[in-house]
Amino acid sequence: DAGVIQSPRHEVTEMGQEVTLRCKPISGHNSLFWYRQTMMRGLELLIYFNNNVPIDDSGMPEDRFSAKMPNASFSTLKIQPSEPRDSAVYFCASSFNGLTLTSQETQYFGPGTRLLVL
């Protein structure tokens, strides 16, 4: 199993530019999560999809951020326009949601995309 795949692994861009991050979840997983990690705020959930449908986007910072999941094997997180405060590591994670409280819904994380906005 290739695990969760993210691209690009590193991105350096200038303020105001559009940034698109990509994620391929583990085959068979039905839940996908986008996280952002910074030293100050730790690991924060941005948005969560279940069966390709956005379930909780309360963590999306503002309208500059958008996420899509057109099919079970692909998701994008877009920032437009980007700002220096968006610099962080963005992780994608996937899991199989068994819809039971005690099921072990392990989230498997991708390698992350390190974003630097100048």
Does 112 help bind another protein (rule: CB under 8 A)?
A: yes
Residue 17 or 106: which CB sits closer to another protein?
106
Point out which span in 7-15, 65-73, 77-85, 100-108 binds another protein (CB under 8 A). Answer: 100-108
Does 90 help bind another protein (rule: CB under 8 A)?
A: no
- Tokens 């996420």 found at: 67
Residue 19 or 49: which CB sits closer to another protein?
49
Does 1 help bind another protein (rule: CB under 8 A)?
A: no
List CB contacts of 89: < 8 A, sequence separation 6 or more. Answer: 36, 37, 38, 112, 113, 114, 115
Residue from 1, 53, 70, 102 touching another protein (CB under 8 A): that is: 102
Cα Rg of the chain (Å, integer): 14
Phi/psi at 35 (nearest 5 deg)?
A: -120, 155
The encoded tokens of residue 66 equal 């958008």
Cα–Cα distance for residue pair 23/59, rounded to 1 Å: 18
Residue 59 or 81: which CB sits closer to another protein?
59
Sign of CA dihedral 85, 89, 95, 101: negative
Residues 40-59, one symbol each (x = binds another protein by CB under 8 A, - = not), give -xxxxx--x------xx-x-
| Residues found near another protein in the complex (CB under 8 A) | 33, 41-45, 48, 55-56, 58, 91, 97, 101-102, 104-112
